[in-house]
Amino acid sequence: MMNKIPIIFSKHYDITLCGIEKLHPFDTCKYSKVYKYLCKHLALKKQNFYTPEIVSEQELQIAHSPEYLASLSSSANVAKIAEVKLLAMVPNMLLQNRLLNPMKYGTGGTILGGELAMKYGWAINLSGGYHHAKASSGEGFCFFADIPIVIRKLWKKQPELKVLIIDLDAHQGNGFEAILQDDPRVCTFDIYNGQIYPLDITAMKHINFDYPLASYVKDEDYLSFVQEGLQKCNQFKADLIIYNAGTDIYKKDRLGGLSVSAEGIIQRDHLVFSYAVENKIPILMLLSGGYSKDSANIIGQSLVQIYKNHLLALQ
Ligand SMILES: [Zn+2]
C-alpha cells in the first residue's frame, strides 16, 4: 500500500442543506469534487489522505470570544454571517450539523495541515481558509478563523515561528489581519480586488505587502503582482507559508470581479509553490473562496501539476 501523502480531506467537508445551499452562489460540494479529481488523476485512494478531527470548542477559543461562539446558536446570526437570509428560519440544530460542522472539520483540517506542513514540508487542506472571520464576529460566509488558530497552536510549541500568509483569494483577508494585527512573527502579502467587499480599511493597515487591484485585472498583470510580492517576501525569512489559494479570481466567478483565466490560476499556484520549494519553506495550502462551477476542476488540475512538479521531489 502507498503511504499517506499530506493532503487532508474529510467526507464531512461538503455543505448540503436540503437544497438551501443552492441559494448561495457557492459550489458547496467543491471539496469532495477536488478529492475525487485527485483520486482519479493521481491514482490515490481514501487511505492515502489524512482525515482531520473536528475542531474542539477549546481550540476555537484560541481565536474567538466565548460570546461570539455562543451567538452561533442563533439561526438569525448564522444567516447573517452566511449571507443567506432564509437560513434564519432553519432550526439551529440543522445549521449546526449541515453548515457549521463542515466548517469545523475544515478548521480541524487546517490545524492538522499546520503539523503536517512542518513535518513533511508541505500540506494541502481541501477546505479551510475562512479569512473573513474575526475574534468576536463572523462575516462573508466565514465562521471560524482557522488561520490564526493554526498559527497560535504552532506557537505553543515554537513561539518564535515566523509565518508568512500569502492570501491570493479575490477578497481581502480582513479576518486574520484584524486578529493577528502587527505581530512581528507574522508577515502578510495580500492581493485582492480593492473595489469589492470587504474593503476593511482598519484591517488593511496590518498588511505588509498590500496589493488592492482594480476590477477585471487579467493574467499578465495579476501574475506580475504575484511575482513582485513574492520577491518582497524574501526579506521576512519565513519558517512557514500559509497560502490562501482562493479561486474566485477566476474570470467566470460571480463575486470576485477579476478576469484571471484557469491557466492563470494554475500558473499562480505554481509560482507560490516554486517560491516555497526554492526557498525551502514549508507550505500549507488552503482552498478558501472560489464560487464558480469550474472551481473544483481548476483546483484539481492545479494540484495535479503542483504534485508532479514539486511535491514528488519533496517526499
Ligand atoms: Zn473570496
The tens digit of pLDDT for each residue in 102-116 reads: 999 999 999 999 999
| CA–CA separation, 82 and 78 (whole Å) | 6
Q: Coil, strand, or helix at residue 212?
A: strand
pLDDT at residue 15, rounded to an integer: 87
Neighbours of 231 (CB within 10 A): 11
Instruction: Tell me if 200 sits within 8 A of 177, measured CB to CB.
Output: yes
Instruction: Tell me if 168 sits within 8 A of 188, measured CB to CB.
Output: no
| CA–CA separation, 197 and 169 (whole Å) | 12
Ligand 1 center–CA 64 separation, angstroms = 21
pLDDT at residue 315, rounded to an integer: 55
Q: Does 177 score more than 80 pLDDT? A: yes
b/e map 294-315, b = 16+ CB within 10 Å: bbbbbbbbbbbebbeebbeebe
In which band, very low, low, confident or very high, does the pLDDT at 313 lie, cut at 50, 70 and 90? low
Q: Does 23 score more than 90 pLDDT? A: no
pLDDT at residue 3, rounded to an integer: 87
Ligand 1 center–CA 193 separation, angstroms = 9
Q: Does 2 score more than 70 pLDDT? A: no
147-158 mean pLDDT? 98
Ligand 1 center–CA 244 separation, angstroms = 10
Length of the chain counted residue by residue: 315
In which band, very low, low, confident or very high, does the pLDDT at 29 lie, cut at 50, 70 and 90? confident
Element (H, E) at 203: helix 201-204
| CA–CA separation, 43 and 216 (whole Å) | 37
pLDDT at residue 178, rounded to an integer: 98
- Report the chain's mean pLDDT, rounded to a whole number: 95
| CA–CA separation, 262 and 276 (whole Å) | 22
* CATH architecture for segment(s) 24-314: 3-Layer(aba) Sandwich (3.40)
52-73 mean pLDDT? 98
Ligand 1 center–CA 158 separation, angstroms = 30
Neighbours of 11 (CB within 10 A): 12
DSSP type of residue 290: -
Q: Which residue has the higher pLDDT, 20 or 54?
A: 54
Q: Does 231 score more than 80 pLDDT? A: yes
44 vs 38, 127, 149, 208, 210, CA distance in Å?
7, 18, 29, 38, 38
C-alpha cell at 180: 493577528
| CA–CA separation, 53 and 73 (whole Å) | 21
In which band, very low, low, confident or very high, does the pLDDT at 24 lie, cut at 50, 70 and 90? low
Q: Using a CB cutoff of 5 Å, list residues around ligand 1, an ion.
A: 169-171, 246, 248, 289
Cell 499556484 -> residue: 269
pLDDT digits (tens, 9 = 90+) for 263-277: 999 999 999 999 999
Q: Which of these ranges, 18-22, 165-169, 213-217, 270-274, has the smallest mean pLDDT?
A: 18-22
| CA–CA separation, 315 and 222 (whole Å) | 31
pLDDT at residue 311, rounded to an integer: 77
Neighbours of 271 (CB within 10 A): 16
Which residues are CB-neighbours of 92 under 8 A, at least 6 positions away?
Answer: 73, 74, 75, 78
Ligand 1 center–CA 144 separation, angstroms = 15
Ligand 1 center–CA 258 separation, angstroms = 11
Instruction: Tell me if 258 sits within 8 A of 294, measured CB to CB.
Output: no
221-234 mean pLDDT? 98
Q: Does 69 score more than 70 pLDDT? A: yes
User: Quick one: what percent of the chain has pLDDT higher than 70?
Assistant: 96
| CA–CA separation, 217 and 248 (whole Å) | 13
Instruction: Tell me if 140 sits within 8 A of 83, measured CB to CB.
Output: yes
In which band, very low, low, confident or very high, does the pLDDT at 20 lie, cut at 50, 70 and 90? low
Domain boundaries, the chain: 24-314
Catalytic positions are: 132
